[in-house]
Structure formats: C-alpha cells, structure tokens
C-alpha cells in the first residue's frame, strides 16, 4: 500500500534514525518529522522561526533540541527546560544540535566567531560538561551514523568541506578528524569498515576510505551534480554540505528530497566492489510503494523514535533491532 508524506517546506536535513527499520528524520520548513519505512509519518514537532542548522528529538520523552541562532534550546512536552547561550551565528553560517548517549550536543561558534567548537551538555540542566575545537566556522553540518558508538560530523565550508568522527560514549569528548578536504562525508557502511565521500562542488568521483585508518579503498565514477535553480554553479556550497540522502535507492532518492540535489548518485554494495546507482528526479511529495525497501544511512545522532511509534520502538528493542 502506497503511503505519502507531503514536505511542508524547503528540506533542510534528512537523517536516518535506524537503517534496519528504515525510519528517517526529515527537517522541512518549521517541522521536524519522523517517517517510517513506507514514509508514513510517525510523529512531528513544530520548531520556532529562526532555527539554525540541525534539530533533533526524542519522542519517548517528548524532548526536542534546536539552535535558535544564539543559543541551544531544549524543550520537553512543548515547554523550554533550559537555554544555553552562545555567540550568534552570522549570515550563511550554521551548526546543529542532537541528542546522543544521554547528552545534548551542539556545534556552535567559538567566542572569536571565526572558529567553531563541539559542546556536550547535561540533558537535564544544560550545563556544559565538555568542549572541543572543530576548526573554521561552518556553513552547516550533517550527521552520519557509524558503528560502535562513533558518529560522523560533516562540516560544510566554502573553503574546504571536512569531517570529524565523534565517539559519543567516551567519558570525555573523543574526536578524530578525517584527512580529506573539499569532500563531503555522506555515509558509513553498515559493517563500519568503510566511509563514503562525495566531491564538494559536485564534480568528480565518489571516494571510499577505510575506517578507522582512512586509507583510500575505491573510487566510484559518478555523474556531476546539476546546477540548482538560481545558482550559477553546480551544487553550490549551500546545497553540497546538506546531502544526507546520498546512500539511497532510486525510489528513496526521489522520495526524500525536494530539490535538485536529489539526483546525486547513490552508492550500493555489490560483490567485491561498490557501484554508483543513478537516482531519479525529485518531488515535493514523498511517496513509496511496495517496491524495494529504502536503504538509508546508519543511526543518526538522535537516539530517538516517535510518540506515535512507542509500541513499534519497544518491539524493536525487545527483539534487539532498535538502537
């Protein structure tokens, strides 16, 4: 049976919750929604105007965290529990917030406003428990789930996109910087042994690196990213850093995006090699049929599900399938 989800506004981020269940967070317009494997809406949260970057939610506790432009805000049951101020983001700058391993996390501007830092906060009080520098201030970030407690943080930067890997369950912040520049982190293989990157600017091959050594493994030729409407160059930095659905099937590529970056080539595993899977056109209405199940990236930073999906989540956890 086909199910549809109408995107309520410009797509700002798409992140997988659980690749095995096929559940996905989508931030579009002023709404953060959780979609099931058939794109059925499992829950949604309204966000205030002025939210910068990524937002995240934990529906089991009805908690949402976001950056209002000059502070990290955590709300529970629709009421603000705490707000942690930080230097304001400038034009075309942005970071993000997420919930993971019992903490609230955020990438925010440093006091000098030229660099950024990762901040870990107590989820109950907002008290900062640790910080770590992350280099030049970004135009945006994306989260890519890994394995064994690691999560990838793609940093958007007009000068040179880069990536960090965070061990979320470490007593102190444990960050590892990837060696590449001008490449966008897009996926971590389900085995945890490989990471996929796409070229910043849209021209060039996909490249696969080993984890945790970052040794080059494969180069996958892929067609160039098209020029978005109103832009003079293919895949401008405003769209290149936000390519969260790169690892998708043809169906889910067209289903999950509402802009030209949806036809970015996907990648799929075949015996002994990786191959590019061209994705079809985009649509502002997400739809799915009973065809192949979407293949999404691994767990996002938000270890959360949906208020409407509590029973489903409990079933997954009981069977060992959940996060």
Mean per-residue pLDDT of the chain: 74
Of 60-69, 115-124, 232-241, give the lowest mean pLDDT range.
Answer: 232-241
Query: Which domains are seen in the chain, by residue range?
Result: 11-316 (2.130.10)
Percentage above 90 pLDDT, the chain? 47
Q: Which tokens in the block code for residue 319? A: 């069977």
State pLDDT tens for residues 246-265.
333 333 322 333 222 322 33
Is pTM, for the whole model, over 0.95?
no
State pLDDT tens for residues 101-117.
999 999 999 999 999 99
Q: How far apart are CA 231 and CA 242, in angstroms?
A: 16
Q: How far apart are CA 61 and CA 56, in angstroms?
A: 12
């Amino acid at each position: 049976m086909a199910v549809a989800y109408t995107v309520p506004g410009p797509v700002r981020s798409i992140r997988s919750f659980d690749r095995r269940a096929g559940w996905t967070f989508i931030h579009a317009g002023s709404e953060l929604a959780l979609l099931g494997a058939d794109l059925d809406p499992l829950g949604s949260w309204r966000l205030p105007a002025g939210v910068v970057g990524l937002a995240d939610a934990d529906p089991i506790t009805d908690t949402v965290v976001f950056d209002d432009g000059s502070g990290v805000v955590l709300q529970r049951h629709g009421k603000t529990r705490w707000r942690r101020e930080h230097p304001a983001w400038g034009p075309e700058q942005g970071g993000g917030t997420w919930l993971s391993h019992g903490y609230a996390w955020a990438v925010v501007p440093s006091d000098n406003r030229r660099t950024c830092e990762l901040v870990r906060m107590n989820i109950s009080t907002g008290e900062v428990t640790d910080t770590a520098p992350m280099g030049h201030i970004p135009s945006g970030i994306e989260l890519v789930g890994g394995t064994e407690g690691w999560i990838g943080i793609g940093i958007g930067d007009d000068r040179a996109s880069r990536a960090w890997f965070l061990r979320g369950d470490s007593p102190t912040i444990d960050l590892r910087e990837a060696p590449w520049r001008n490449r966008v982190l897009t996926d971590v293989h389900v085995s945890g042994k490989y990471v996929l990157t796409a070229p910043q600017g849209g021209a060039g091959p996909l490249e696969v690196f080993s984890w945790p050594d970052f040794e080059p493994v494969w180069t996958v030729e892929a067609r160039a990213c098209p020029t978005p409407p109103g832009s003079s160059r293919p895949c401008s930095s405003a769209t290149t850093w936000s390519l969260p659905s790169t690892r998708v099937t043809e169906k889910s590529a067209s289903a999950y995006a509402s802009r030209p970056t949806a036809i970015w080539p996907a990648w799929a595993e075949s015996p002994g090699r990786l191959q590019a899977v061209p994705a079809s056109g985009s649509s502002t209405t997400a739809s799915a049929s009973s065809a192949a199940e979407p293949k999404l990236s691994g767990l996002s930073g938000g270890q959360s599900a949906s208020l409407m999906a509590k029973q489903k989540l409990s079933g997954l956890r009981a069977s060992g399938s959940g996060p």
